[in-house]
Structure 1
Amino acid sequence: MVHQHQQELKKQLWNIANSLRGNMSADDFRDYILGLIFYKYLSDKLNTYADQLLSEDGIVFAKIDETTAEGQEYLEAVKEEALDKLGYFLKPAELFHVLAERGSNDKFILDDVTSVLNHIEQSTMGVDSADDFNGLFDDLDLTSNKLGKTPDARNKLIAKVLEHLDNIDFHLESSEIDILGDAYEYLIGMFASGAGKKAGEFYIMPPTSLQAKCHLPIAA
């Protein structure tokens, strides 16, 4: 089962590499993809945790109406618990799946993605996790010409990447499956064996095993 999930993960990462083929170097590819994968992970983890908190009330976090007083009360309650347990917070409208879906429907999402990444970091201000999240997404410059010559071209590319990443299931309910660690290990293995190659091209080489998986800044 674990091997099956690893193969599915590599398939999605391969699809992303093909989307970016020829656009940037392996190092630049690393900065963008690892950052967006981490955003996906944070979003899924927060969404799962929030749904657990709200389950007794029959509330689904992603469906909370942020414009109502009742919705705001639920969000404040979830935020307080999430900051204490996870060390960060996201609103329903900021979840990865929401932006990925909007991008797949040809909506312009670059500004929203940038805003969400900034908000993740800002949400940690005043809590113990602040240092861990400080500058976490600084390398994700969505205005860079490396992503495309025009805003529309950059948006199309990032939307495609988010669509592929949205298909990755981190299996947060399983202690035996470490999709995030596998993704980091696989990608960093590619960088080690493909320095200087364009994104996508260095994916034809076999992954290099690492001695240990990356440890990520998530509050216990």
Structure 2
Amino acid sequence: MATLQQRDELHKTIWSMADELRGAVGGWEFKAYVLGTLFYRFISENLTDYINKLQKDAGVDGFDYAELSDEEAESARQQMVEEKGFFILPSQLFQNVCKTCTDDDNLNMTLSKIFTAIEGSAMGTESEDDMKGLFSDFNVDSTQLGGDVKTRNKLISKVLLKVRDMDLGDDFQDNKIDAFGDAYEFLMTMYASNAGKSGGEFFTPQEVSELLARLTAADGHTIRSVYDPACGSGSLLLKFSKTIGKENPALKYYGQEINPTTYNLCRINMFLHNINYDNFSSLSMPS
């Protein structure tokens, strides 16, 4: 899918979700649900594709991790935590939760337990700090979603299904756009004018980020690390990944961000692009 088509698809879906939640969740808070759901989808697909590829390379045809039982999948937990930094059971995958979300009277509890389990899968490992709090802004029990559980679950299920139906290509990490960063920038643009709700935040347009990365790429083979003191959602770091990082897979990425929510978004974004805990370090407050 071409770049403009991907962006158009992304923006139309975000507008559609915003319309579904109109009158329930304020625009600035809505951002957390959109990006949190995008992350949940992508991290599920990322792990599924990774395991399926391992099985295919091992000569196992037609294998689909999403179709395994949780008991069968447990044998992969340790390896996945070591290699990916997290683990998700098949029943907890976004694509499987979406199959029953409209009929799940306890969807809020289902998601809460899943998010806790995903973050908890890294507990006691090197990736613990990198996974901690990644879903903290996705409040499944917010009264802004509705006055009762049934109403809240109905809205959450609509968001899940709309994100599920987004067409962002077969392999999101190879997309020509930074889908996650683009969604963040689009949401910033939509709501930054709401009575100072932007909190003084500014983002670097992706075109500027790409120019900076390309100007540096001439000496890419000599660069060992990239640092952004105001990393936002990580757009600039990802542009370096797609230029210098291609010839230097050991490149280290460092980012600082004063806004806790945006700090989480950056960590999520790096995970989505296979820049895992062992190649990326971040600080929530500038030192």
Give the shorter-chain TM-score range. 0.7 to 0.9
CA offsets per residue over residues 34-60 of structure 1, 9 Å max, x none?
222221221121111121122232321
- TM-score when scaled to structure 2? 0.64
The answer on whether the counterparts of 1:189 and 1:209 sit within 8 Å (CA) in structure 2 is no
Q: Percent same amino acid at aligned positions? A: 32
**Structure 1 residues 131-166: Cα deviation after superposition (integer angstroms, max 9, x where no partner):** 122122222221221111111111111001100011
Using the TM superposition, give the Cα deviation of residue 65 of structure 1 relative to its aligned residue in structure 2, in angstroms.
Answer: 2.2
1:115 offset after TM fit, Å?
0.7
Quote the residue 2:126 is aligned against: 128
Question: Contact 2:35 / 2:180 at 8 angstroms: preserved in 1?
Answer: no
What's the TM-score once normalised by structure 1's chain length? Answer: 0.82
Q: Deviations over 1:79-107 (max 9, x none)?
A: 23322232111111111111122113x22
From the superposition, tell whether residues 181 and 85 of structure 1 become closer, same or farther in structure 2 (CA, over 3 Å): farther
Larger Rg: 2
Look up the match of 1:168.
166
The runs of at least 4 consecutive aligned structure 1 residues that moved more than 3 Å come to 193-197, 208-213
Kept in 1, the 8 Å contact 2:141–2:149? The answer is yes
Q: Which has the larger strand fraction? A: 2
Gaps of 5+ in 1: 198-207
User: Does 1 or 2 have the higher relative contact order (CA < 8 Å, sep 6+)?
Assistant: 1
Match for residue 211 of structure 1 among 205, 208, 211: 205
Which range moved further: 8-17 or 174-183? 174-183
Partner of 2:116: 118
Aligned pairs for 1:145-156 within 5 A: 145-156=143-154
Look up the match of 1:107.
Answer: 104
What is the root-mean-square deviation in Å for CA atoms of aligned residues? Answer: 2.2
Correspondences of 1:36-51 after superposition (within 5 Å) = 36-51=37-52
Give how far 1:174 is off: 1.6
Aligned partners of 2:204, 2:14: CA distance in 1, in Å?
18
Unaligned runs of 5+ in 2: 207-231, 235-265, 280-287
Which residue identity lines up with residue 160 of structure 2 in the other structure? L
Q: Distance in 2 between matches of 1:151 and 1:34?
A: 22
Q: Which residue of 2 aligns with 1:2?
A: 3
Kindly state the Cα deviation for residue 178 of structure 1 after the two structures are TM-superposed. 2.3
